[in-house]
Amino acid sequence: MNANDIPNSYKNLYQKAMAGRSQASAVKCFCLQCVCWQKEEIRHCTSKGCPLYPYRPYKTQNESADRASKIAERRKIDPDYLMPSGQALKSLKAYKNQP
C-alpha to C-alpha distance for 68 and 59, rounded to whole angstroms: 12
What's the pTM value of the predicted model, to 2 decimals? 0.59
Instruction: Give tens-digit pLDDT for 52-92.
Output: 888 888 776 666 556 656 666 666 666 555 555 545 555 44
How many residues can be counted in the chain?
99
* Tens-digit pLDDT profile for residues 9-30: 999 999 999 999 899 999 999 9
Residue 9 CA from chain centroid, whole number:
19
